């Protein structure tokens, strides 16, 4: 009898939670949003970043978010980004969990960090959008690296996930990324984006639901399939009400939706964004074991700057067993490289 009563309570709570979800474009009065993230766990997997960005600090605050700020708007005006992440290609819901994360991203130290992520996103948004288009995926997914890595190619987690898409090694290799003593292509923004697009497309083919697909991206498809079977539901929000999933995964989808709502219109949410220049580079094909130091000297830049163009390289040379390595250089320096360092060119 107690078990039966308990299940009735669970379904009643789930029904109430669903009743609070509204469509993005639906009119609503201004609401007071407490900055309360679920107490059952931290907002996301620990992340180590080279700029010491901390993903955890949650400060108590109460903010008032006018309903106008929740409406879908045009994308940030960065080069070649018109129409980015429009509202009709991905189901965004605005419920308490999403509003809590909007508050979280706009409060205290987290506000400065999120602003840094938005600035950095300008370097990659156009490239990621193009890859998503090539794979017929919703362009709104362009904002997923915001909550995965803050668009930091060198982001690395204690779970050994790496790159802007935070691939673990096993999944990365399944989708064609090389990881060895010389390179880690999870840190290559373009190659890892292609891998992420292929993986996300596979997940959507399995679940026919973007919230469930994103939950699977975070937790693994096996865990989500098992959770759906145990809960006898096919809806992410209903599944979340059962507390079968870890807090990190329950929070992952509303966190993404909140980040997307802000990224679509940062100014309306009080962010002044200075987007980094879009990723552009020259490329040369070089011999195996080409020195990065000599390559940098050939075009008049530091080794550190050359590494920023080639974050996948782990050593001071290109892979010795790759006789045709594609080395990226600052735009406009290819001719100088060919003249200064011709014997390594293929």
284-303 pLDDT, tens digit each: 999 999 999 999 999 999 99
Same domain, 255 and 157: yes
- Domain coverage including residue 61: 20-269
Convert the pLDDT of each residue in 259-275 to its tens digit: 999 999 999 999 999 99
Same domain, 197 and 68: yes
What pLDDT, on the 0 to 100 scale, is given for residue 343? 85
31 C-beta neighbours (distance < 10 Å), count: 14
Burial (Cβ within 10 Å: 0-12, 13-18, ≥19) of residue 162: buried
What pLDDT, on the 0 to 100 scale, is given for residue 88? 53
Across 9-18, 21-30, 187-196, 230-239, least confident range: 21-30
- What's the structural domain count of the chain? 2
Across 66-75, 206-215, 248-257, least confident range: 66-75
Give a yes or no: residue 172 inside a domain. yes
Convert the pLDDT of each residue in 35-57 to its tens digit: 333 333 333 333 333 333 333 33
Catalytic pick among 139, 148, 185, 312: 148
Same domain, 213 and 257: yes
Query: 242: alpha, beta or left, given left = phi > 0 and alpha = psi -120 to 50?
Result: alpha
Same domain, 330 and 182: no
Give a yes or no: residue 8 inside a domain. no
Give a yes or no: residue 257 inside a domain. yes
Domain CATH code at residue 94: 1.10.530.10
Rg (CA), the chain: 22
Indicate the pTM of the whole model.
0.77
Give a yes or no: residue 205 inside a domain. yes
Same domain, 223 and 330: no
Same domain, 71 and 163: yes
Residue 30 has pLDDT above 90, yes or no: no
Give a yes or no: residue 14 inside a domain. no
Same domain, 148 and 286: no
What pLDDT, on the 0 to 100 scale, is given for residue 311? 98
* Cross-strand partners of 284: 327
Cα–chain center distance at 163: 10
Q: Read out DSSP for 61-102?
A: -EEEE-GGGGS--PPP--TT-TTTT-GGGS--EE-HHHHHHH
pLDDT top residue among 93 and 86: 93
Give a yes or no: residue 275 inside a domain. no
What pLDDT, on the 0 to 100 scale, is given for residue 345? 81
Is there a catalytic annotation at residue 148?
Answer: yes
């Amino acid at each position: 009898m107690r078990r039966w009563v308990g299940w009735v309570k669970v379904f009643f709570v789930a029904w109430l939670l669903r009743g609070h979800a509204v469509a993005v474009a639906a009119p609503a009065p201004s609401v007071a949003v407490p900055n309360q993230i679920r107490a059952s766990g931290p907002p996301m997997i620990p992340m180590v970043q080279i700029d010491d960005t901390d993903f955890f600090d949650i400060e108590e605050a109460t903010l008032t978010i006018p309903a106008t700020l929740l409406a879908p708007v045009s994308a940030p005006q960065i080069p070649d980004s018109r129409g980015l992440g429009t509202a009709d290609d991905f189901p965004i819901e605005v419920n308490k969990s999403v509003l809590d994360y909007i508050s979280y991203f706009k409060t205290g130290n987290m506000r400065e960090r999120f602003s840094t992520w938005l600035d950095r996103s300008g370097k990659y948004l156009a490239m990621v959008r193009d890859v998503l288009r090539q794979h017929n995926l919703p362009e709104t997914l362009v904002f997923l690296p915001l909550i995965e890595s803050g668009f930091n190619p060198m982001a690395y987690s204690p779970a050994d996930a790496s790159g802007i898409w935070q691939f673990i090694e096993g999944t990365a290799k399944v989708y064609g990324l090389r990881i060895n003593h010389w390179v880690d292509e999870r840190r290559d923004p373009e190659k890892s984006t292609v891998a992420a697009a292929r993986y996300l497309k596979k997940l959507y083919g399995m679940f026919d639901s973007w919230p469930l697909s994103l939950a699977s991206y975070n937790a693994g498809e096996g865990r989500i399939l098992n959770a759906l079977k145990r809960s006898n539901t096919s809806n992410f929000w209903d599944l979340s009400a059962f507390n079968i999933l870890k807090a990190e995964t329950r929070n992952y989808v509303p966190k993404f939706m909140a980040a997307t709502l802000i990224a679509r219109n940062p100014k309306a949410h009080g962010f002044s964004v200075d987007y980094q220049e879009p990723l552009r580079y020259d490329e040369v094909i070089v011999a195996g074991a080409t020195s990065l130091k000599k390559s940098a000297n050939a075009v008049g830049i530091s080794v550190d700057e050359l590494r920023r163009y080639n974050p996948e390289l782990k050593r001071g040379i290109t892979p010795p067993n790759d006789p045709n390595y594609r080395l990226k250089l600052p735009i406009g320096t290819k001719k100088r490289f060919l003249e200064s360092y011709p014997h390594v060119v293929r």
